[in-house]
Each structure stands twice: as C-alpha cells, then as structure tokens.
Amino acid sequence: MTYFSDSADSDRHQTQQAILEATHQILLESGYNGISISQIADRVGISKSVIYHYYDDKESLLAEFLDVAHERFLEQIFGQEETTPRDELEHFLTLFITIPPVGCESETELTQLAKTYVELRTQSISNPDYRAIFTDSEEDIKRRLTETIEAGIDQGEFKPVNPERTSEHIITFVDGVLFRQATTESIDSELLHSEIQEHLADRIYR
Amino acid sequence: MTYFSDSADSDRHQTQQAILEATHQILLESGYNGISISQIADRVGISKSVIYHYYDDKESLLAEFLDVAHERFLEQIFGQEETTPRDELEHFLTLFITIPPVGCESETELTQLAKTYVELRTQSISNPDYRAIFTDSEEDIKRRLTETIEAGIDQGEFKPVNPERTSEHIITFVDGVLFRQATTESIDSELLHSEIQEHLADRIYR
C-alpha cells in the first residue's frame, strides 16, 4: 500500500493513484519548480495525454494532490480508533517536531517533506487557488484540533483552556517549526521538543 | 529619511542607497519573481550598467538588501536607548503580531511585508546562499533575544526561565505568524495576540 492508494480510495481510478504517487515522489526529489507533466508521465510509464484526460494542467493536478494528501494527513492523526485526546495532540506534534538522531548528517525525510510543503504553500502568495486550498486545509486542521482539545477538557484530561485559542497557538507553533526547518539550519529541535512538552504539561495537561 | 539611508549609512554611496530603496519598493509591489535589474534601474533613473558596477547580479544585490534590512531591523528592536528587557520583548512581538483594524478590507502593509519576506526566505530551499543568509540572520536574532531575556532575569523583570529555550520558542512562534499571514487567510491575529500576552504574563513576566 502506498500513500495515495488505500481502501478509502477503492473507487479512485488506479491510474490516478499512480499519477498522485509519482507526483509525491517527484515533488520530494525535485521540488515545485522541478516537476512537470512529462516527468510524471515518464515515471508512471504512460503518455502525457493520459494525464491530460484527468487533469487540465499541472496546477489542477497539484490541487488534487494537495487535497488527497490533506485527507491522508487528517486520517493519520484524527482517524485512529482507541486514542485519547492527549494521544492525538502528542501524535500531531510528534509528526512535526521529530528529533533527528544525533550525528545524523544526511537530510531526514521530515526536512525534505517540510521543504516540499513550504515551497508549495508559498505559491499561495501569488496564486489565489493555492491560497484557498491552504486556507481551507488550515481551517480544517484548526477545527479538528479544537475538537480534540474540547474532548480533552470534557474527559478531564486537559485543563479548562480556551480551545480555539490553544489550537490557534499550536498551529502557529507547528507552522513556525516547518518554515524554520525548510528555510534555515538554525532550528534546535531538541530544545523545541522539551519546550513544547513543558508547555503542554504546564498549561494543558491535568 | 528612508529605510535604507540614515546616519549609520553616511559612508554608503548615495546611489547604492537609492538602489536598495528601489529594491525594497519593487519587492513589496511585485514580489521576488517580479523584480529585475532593469526595473530597479528605471525606478532609480540610472542605467543598468551603474547597478552592475556595484553588484554582480540580482542575487548579490538581494543578498546586500537582506543584509542591510536585517541590520535596520535589529537596530529598531534592540538598538533603542532607555528601554527595558520587557519593552524590547513586547516591541519585538508587536512588530510581528499587529492586529489590523476591524473591518479593514485592504491588505495591510504588514501582510505585504510578510509575503515579501516569506517569498525571499523560501528561496533558501533551493539556493544555499540564501540559506546561509537566513540562517545567520535567525541565529543573530536568537542571540539578541536570548540576551534580552538574560537581562530581564538579571534585572528581576522576568522569571528564571531558560533563556535559549524561551527565545527558540518565541522565534518559532513569530516565524509561524509570518508564514501563516503570508500564505493563508486563516490566521486570527486577535486570538494570537491575547494568547501570547497571557503566555508572557504567565511564564515569563514576574
């Protein structure tokens, strides 16, 4: 099973899944400016016309890609059975702030993902379609996170914090981690990890 | 007095100041992809060859631009006389999290600045020179902020927090604000403003 094909996609055409999977790989390898319809077609082993059968252009293919990736992301965090609100919150943060092994020189997969994500999201500055996509997906994550925090309060796991405010803060923090990770060498993940854990213990967990 | 010419620059050639000022204006109007040497020359009213006398190419001009802008930024925050550590910290945060007036439809200058900054900084993903510039400037801000926090603790204004950790957290938060502001419509500045004020009152201020 690959990232872009699982049971939730049983009605999605197999070729489309292969196209999205190839898009994902090429984005990670070459970034937003390095990706083209011909490259995706080559990777899948189909002709460009097959891709144009499904998508008008590179932008609409990437819009679909972002949409599916967003759904996958939400499922991974919030769609799990038998998790507590605290597990969900921890899992959400752990996905963003992973401490690379000490002495690890090579670029971690997380940094590569952060770079791809930041590069795509920066298209929002000049492209209103991207802006709408990323605004929607951030609103969506904010809503889910707020529900998680509300559930934590209801179940007595969390202190009676303001759920909207807390999720707004967490999302800003996580976006900052991604942006710094993608664009500088200055981030100290270990320090941030301990800071956020202390913050959660102090302000949110009972 | 414009942003790129003040007493600290008395020895910088007047033409260079005009070039940097025009760069600043065009970046705000048209973004990174919209700026060219000819456009800058037109704006200043000089020929392209004059610009090439000072700079090898657009990249080295932008590198100089970023360097000067960074120094100006540091002076604005940390170079003021008769400020307390608390004033410096508040001033730093206020520069990033300004609440636009209610009902204000037009794009605020801050959002436009955030867009330009995020667009330039995203060049770090594919360009090692930019990466070095933004890593250095972030390290620099982190160092100054850490010193501010240390001074606040020494002078009894702040609780005995971990200065490095606290500045790492604040920088991540502020980078998150900029990134969200530049790339989505989803940020709620008012909520963030009250959250960060409460956070400071609770964790940092005595």
CA distance linking residue A181 with residue A34, whole number of Å: 20
**A182 and B133 in contact (C-beta within 8 Å)?**
no
Q: Band of the pLDDT at B1, cuts 50, 70, 90?
A: very low
Residue A9 has pLDDT above 80, yes or no: no
pLDDT at A109: 79
Kindly state whether B174 is in contact with chain A, defined as any CB-CB distance less than 8 angstroms: yes
| pLDDT given for residue B150 in this prediction | 98
State what percent of residues in chain A have pLDDT above 70.
90
Question: How far is it, in rounded angstroms, from Cα B68 to Cα A103?
Answer: 35
Task: Please give the average per-residue pLDDT across A139-168, as a whole number.
Answer: 96
Vertex B117 angle, CA B112 and B122, to 5°: 130
Which CATH architecture fits B1-56?
Orthogonal Bundle (1.10)
ipTM here: 0.92
| Residue in the structure block whose two tokens are 């609440």 | B99
Q: How confident is the prediction for chain B on average, in pLDDT?
A: 89
Query: What are B73's two structure tokens?
Result: 């930024």
Which residue carries 């410096």 as its tokens? Answer: B88
B 99-158 residues with CB < 8 A to A: 115, 118-119, 121-122, 124-126, 131, 134-135, 138-139, 142
Question: What's the gap in Å between the CA of A137 and the closest CA on chain B?
Answer: 9
Helix extents (H) in chain A: 14-30, 37-44, 48-54, 58-78, 85-96, 109-122, 128-154, 163-183, 189-199
pLDDT tens-digit profile of A62-78?
A: 999 999 999 999 998 88
- Residue with the bigger pLDDT between A134 and A82: it is A134
What topology does CATH give the domain A80-206?
A: Tetracycline Repressor; domain 2 (1.10.357)
In chain A, what residues touch B180 (CB-CB under 8 Å)? 138, 171-172, 175
- Closest CA of chain A from B117, distance in Å: 11
* Residue A19 near residue A61, CB atoms below 8 Å: yes
Report domain extents, chain B: 1-56, 80-204
A6 pLDDT band, cuts 50/70/90, is low
Q: What is the pLDDT of residue B80?
A: 84
pLDDT at A95: 82
Q: How many CB atoms lie within 10 A of CB A100?
A: 15
Identity (one letter) of the amino acid at A194?
Answer: S
Set of chain B residues whose Cβ sits within 8 Å of the Cβ of A171: 176, 180
Tell me which of 3.10.20.340, 1.10.357.10, 1.10.3720.10, 3.30.70.3270 is the CATH number of domain B80-204: 1.10.357.10
* pLDDT one-digit tens code per residue, B119-161: 999 999 999 999 999 999 999 999 999 999 999 999 999 999 9
Instruction: Among B175, B200, B204, pick the best mutation site for testing chain A contact (most A Cβ within 10 A).
Output: B175
The CA-CA-CA angle for residues A1, A110, A170, to 5°, reads 105
The whole-number pLDDT of residue B94 equals 84
CATH number of A1-66: 1.10.357.10
Indicate which of A33, A125, A199 best probes the interface with B, i.e. most B CBs within 10 Å of its own CB.
A125
Residue A26 in this model has a pLDDT that exceeds 90: yes
- Asked whether the beta carbons of residue B139 and residue A192 sit closer than 8 angstroms, the reply is no
> Is the per-residue pLDDT at B101 higher than 70?
no
Q: How far apart are CA A157 and CA B127, in angstroms?
A: 45
Please check whether residue A119 is in contact with residue B118, taking contact to mean a CB–CB distance below 8 angstroms: no
| Span B177-201, pLDDT tens digits | 999 999 999 998 888 888 888 889 9
Q: In whole angstroms, what is the distance from residue A71 CA to residue A66 CA?
A: 9
Chain A CB contacts of B181 under 8 Å are: none
Q: Inter-chain contact A131–B185, Cβ cutoff 8 Å?
A: yes
Specify which residues A205 forms β-bridges with. Answer: A158
Angle made by CA atoms B170, B117, B146, in degrees to the nearest 5 = 25
The two tokens of residue B39 are 């456009």
Look at B195 and A131 and tell me if their CB atoms are within 8 Å. no
Same fold, A1-66 and A80-206: yes
Both tokens of residue B75? Answer: 């002076």
DSSP alpha helix (H) spans, B79-162 = 85-96, 109-122, 128-154
